[in-house]
Every structure is written in C-alpha cells, then in structure tokens.
Chain A
Amino acid sequence: MKAKFGHYLRVLGSLYLLLAITTGLAFLPLDAWNWLPSVVIAFVMAGLIMLFFMRLRQSEPLLWLTSASGFAWLSLLMLFVVLDYISRPWPR
C-alpha cells in the first residue's frame, strides 16, 4: 500500500508541476497563439490522469482503444468544422 501511495503521490506531484508551467506560460506574450502550449500541456495532464489515476496502464487494450475513440471522434468533428471556417472567405 505504501509503494502504491508513493506512486500516486509522484503522479500528483507531476500534475502540480505541469499546472505551474502552464500557468506561467500563459504570461508570455504569445497573443493569439497562447492557447497552443496550454492545450498541449492539458493533454499531457489528461494522459497522466488516464494512465495512472484511471489505471489505464494496467488495463486491457480494449480500454485503451475505447478511451481514444472519444477523442478521435471529437477531432473528426473539430477538423471538419474548422475546415469550413478557415476556408470560408475564399473564393471572394
């Protein structure tokens, strides 16, 4: 139990660290692009939570696939919607 506790604690520590980084990065003058680093870090944090807190690491491959499917389908939705919006001004 002790070993497990330390293991979870390390994950929590990493999460805290990433939170500090993402918050700090937000103060950089990146203007319209400041979402990019913070969203990347959010994905890393989500990955940590899924792997360790949600115990995906010890789970069968089926669950890996399932956990990815939601994000995969969401990216399809976003991809095609964004495609419409960025190509909308043309041809003028």
Chain B
Amino acid sequence: MTLPPDPKSISTVNYLNEEKTVASWFFTHDHKRIALLYLASITFFFLLGGVAAMLMRIELIHPRGELFTSTTYNKLFTLHGVIMVWFFLIPSIPNVLGNFLIPMMIGARDMAFPRLNLISWYVFMLGGLFAVFAILVGGVDTGWTFYTPYSSTYSNSWVIAMAVGIFINGFSSIFTGLNFIVTVHKLRAPGMTWFRLPLFVWTLYSTSLIFVLATPVLAITLTLVALERGFGIGIFDPRIGGDPLLFQHLFWFYSHPAVYIMVLPAMGVISELIAAFARNRVFGYNFVVYASLGIAFLGFLVWGHHMFVSGQSVYAGMIFSLLSFFVAIPSAIKVFNWTATLYKGSITFDTPLLYALGFIALFTIGGMTGLMLASLAVDVHVTATYFVVAHFHYIMVGGAVMAYLGGIHYWFPKITGRMYPETLARWAAIILFIGFNLTFFPMFILGYMGMPRRYHVYPEEFQMLNFISTIGTPVLGIGYLLPLIYLGWASFFGRLAGPNPWNATGLEWQTPSPPPKENFAEIPVVTTEPYAYHLLPEAAGIHQETHDR
C-alpha cells in the first residue's frame, strides 16, 4: 500500500510513448493500446448512431412526419438500434475499460491471449465494415430485432449484409469473453483471491459468461435468417409450417442476456466509483458479487417476457413473468448496497461520482418501470409502445452510458496520465442528466397513452409530449459532445495526474500513469481486501477530526 513519494511524477517511458509508429498501434498486443483502438472505433459508431437518433427526433416533432419518407425513417431507427446495440453499448465498457483495466486490476502483465485480443478488435472492425457497407448501399429496414418473416422474406433492404456484420461482430464478443474468463481464472496475482477481486472484475466476469454462452445462439439465428433470405430455404417460414415465434425465442435467448451484457459492467463501474468517492468499503461486498452472478444466470431465463403478446403459450408467459420479477431482486440488492456504501463515508463530489449518482437515479427509474413491464396484464398494454422505448433507454443510456462516461472520467488520469478540467466536467454531467430526462421521461407518458414505437406518423394528441422530447435532444447532445471535446483536449494539455490522483485503492492505481508497457515492474502481492479505504492513512485523519470535535 505504499505510494510513490512524488505524486506528480509521470513515468517517462509508458505504453503510449514506448513505440511511436502507426504499425506499432495496429499490430500491438498490449491490452491498453487495444483498449484505445476500441475507444476510437466505438466513439465513431456512437456518433453515427447518435446522428440517426437526432434525425428521428426531428422527424417526430410533427405528427404527419413530412421530413422523411416512411422507408427512410424505418432505416434510421434500424441503423440507430443496430449500431448502438452491437457496435457501441455491447463493446463499450467491456472492450474499452475492461480491456484496459482487467489485467491491471488483477495484477497481470496482459490478457491471457494477447494476440486473440488484437484479433477480436480486427473482427469487430470487419463486422463494423459490413454494417457500414449495408448502411451506405441502402440501409436495412427491419428494426434491430430482425423479426421474421419480415426480415427473411418481405423486406426490401440489405438484411444479409447487416446480418453478416452482426454475425462477425459476435465473434469479437466471444473472443473477448473467452479472453476475460481465462485471464481472470489464470492470471491473478499472488494473494488476489476470488473474494479480493474488485467488483468491476466480477461484473465483467459475469458479463463474459453471457458473451460466451449467449452470442453463439444469435450467430446461428442470424445465419438461418440469411440462409432463408438468400436461398429461399424457409426455416421460420409459416408457408411450409415453420414458426416465426421460434425465431423470436432464439433471438431473445441472446438479446435479453445482451441487455445484461450492457448493464452489468456499468454496475461494476458504479461500485468502483461509489467506493472511491465515498471512501468506504462496499457495503455487503459478497452480496454484490453473488448478485452479479445471479443476474448473469437469471438473465438467461427471462427472454420470454419480450413475447407476452406474441402468441407464445400463456403458461410460458406466466413462468417468464415470475422469473422476470426474480431477476429484479439482484438489481435491487445492488442499488441498496450502493446507497448503504455512502453511509458513514467521506464523500467528495468529483465528476465520476456525479455520473455514478446519476446512474443510480436513472437506473432505479428504469428498473422500477421494468417491474411494470414484468407485470403481465400491464405489459400487454404498454409493450411495443414508447413506454418500452423509455424503459430501455433509462437502463441503456441512463444506466450504461452514464456509467461508461463516469468510468472514462475516473480512469482518464490512468489512461492518459493527465487530468480533465473538473468544473467543466461537472457541468457536462449535470447537462447530460437534465437533457436525458427531458428527452426520455415524456416517452413513459406517451407509451402509457398508447403511442406505438416505430411510428413516424402519429395521432395529433401525442404531439406535445413528442415535442418536449425532441427539445431535450440537443441538450443531451451537448452533454455528450462536451466530454468528447474537453477530454480530447486534456489528453494532450491537461495537468499531470500522478499515479493515484484519487488516492484510491486497487492495483491499477499502484502503477505509474500512464502505466508502462507490461503494467507492473514487479508483479504485486495482494494482502488486503478490496476497497480497504479504512486502512488508508487519511482514514485515521478523519477519525481524528471526529474525535477532536
């Protein structure tokens, strides 16, 4: 636990400047550099998906929807969904923050399979290339859910190219998940027992299980759709007795756990942030660990709640509903534990904590509306309406993206060795929070009133709420662009951070910032529990202060 004497020192040779050629980046095996490659790629995809969202919101100002044709609008929401889900949300925290941090957090020099790690980035980019190709040549209009028989027979767009893109992208997920699991099992530093792992590592471990066990089902399902479309061999085709609902079962067997791929790592980030800025042990650490594993497991058993009105059996619907209520429990445990971690802490309100608090607020609202969706009779009314749209944006954007940005701010000094401008960053977090609620809260009301999703022509009584929602979008947009700008600036011109600017625990803070190529000059030996903030020298100081009073 000894810290280097001069906190403002910057390591002279680090992973960023050790080699300077372009080739040294594109052929690197260093997990930190690969994380940055991912960072650049997913930022691009985020902007692409974001522009599509903006255009949709503009279209929705007017109930008659005269800016775009129906076809264009359908392609826009498909583009937004596909890009955001598979090319931004799923790789965001795992592939950027996870790649960067897992080896450092467990005290390893790299991933177990560094070459596979690089390959997974290339695979990701190849998948992205197919997706971008599908968009450029004409787009896809099936929605991100690719429901048959529309996608396999009736759609008149580039479904196969997009399916191939997502198929390839899936392999990137599988390779990443495989690498994470092996790394966590096999490369922990001496003394780093399972229950000394940071919660971020635990959540990524759970996420990797989903990556590995769910993604292949999506791969085969999309392959079958592509075969049906390309060769006319109808596997889901009702005309020869096939069942379109089978597609939905297989699709959601992946896509529901995929939601947990997006939100579990976010929960991990939040656990780190709350502990670090409340300067406290995480309340009920073991329970949070089991909750992560519980979510990963139960998440596989609830996919049928996307199909309550689809024509699946009523009994199956009931079982899926009950299990969906159960999966809410581990999520609730986490929220309660984060709250309890604040108790008797010593809280500072730096930007990462603002994002973390924002996450808890939005995630709680998203989770609570999830309960409403799990309630069968209510779901019949609100499913496939804007209520669902609002619900999953609260979890995915309010949850996952807030956590991603919070994590980026928290580990920014580790990644670049420099600090970001604190005041500006706090304002950005607040703007983001306001813009988000302005954009998405009206959708709950819209949904309960019955406005179906994927409509760009809608009855006039829905206009006011749509208008408010559209007003929120530019605010939200500013909330995203600000960090992009000031973090970009701060990477080069921010003040030097030193190895541990937050005075946080965790092995990643015990190497210089930016870290050297192989992370640790000497593999550390772990002797304490995680989040041992009560053992830090300053903790004594606080107690002293209390006693003085």
Q: Interface on A for B, CB 8 Å cutoff?
A: 62, 69-70, 73, 76-77, 80-81, 83-85, 87-88, 90-91
Contacts and interface: CB of A to CB of B under 8 A. Distances in A.
Nearest to B243: A85
B312 interface: yes
B246 interface: yes
A80 B217 CA distance: 15
B304 interface: yes
A83 B300 contact: no
B8 interface: no
25 contacts: A69-B213, A70-B213, A73-B300, A76-B300, A80-B249, A80-B301, A80-B303, A80-B319, A80-B320, A81-B246, A83-B313, A83-B315, A83-B316, A83-B319, A84-B245, A84-B249, A84-B304, A84-B313, A87-B314, A87-B315, A88-B313, A88-B316, A90-B313, A90-B314, A91-B314
A88 B314 CA distance: 7
Contacts of B315: 83, 87, 90
Contact of A81 (B249, B300, B314): B249
B495 interface: no
Chain B, interface SS category: helix
B213 A84 contact: no
Nearest to A81: B249
B185 interface: yes
Given A70-B213, A76-B301, A84-B304, 16 more contacts: A62-B185, A73-B300, A77-B217, A77-B253, A80-B249, A80-B303, A80-B316, A80-B319, A83-B315, A84-B245, A84-B312, A84-B316, A88-B312, A88-B313, A90-B313, A91-B314
Contact of A87 (B246, B249, B313): B313
Contacts of B303: 80
Contacts of A81: 246, 249
A5 to B, nearest CB: 32
Contacts of B213: 69-70, 73
A57 to B, nearest CB: 21
Contacts of A91: 314
Nearest to A88: B313
B316 A87 contact: yes
Contacts of B246: 81
Contacts of B300: 73, 76
Contacts of B314: 87, 90-91
A85 B304 contact: no
Interface in B234-251: 245-246, 249
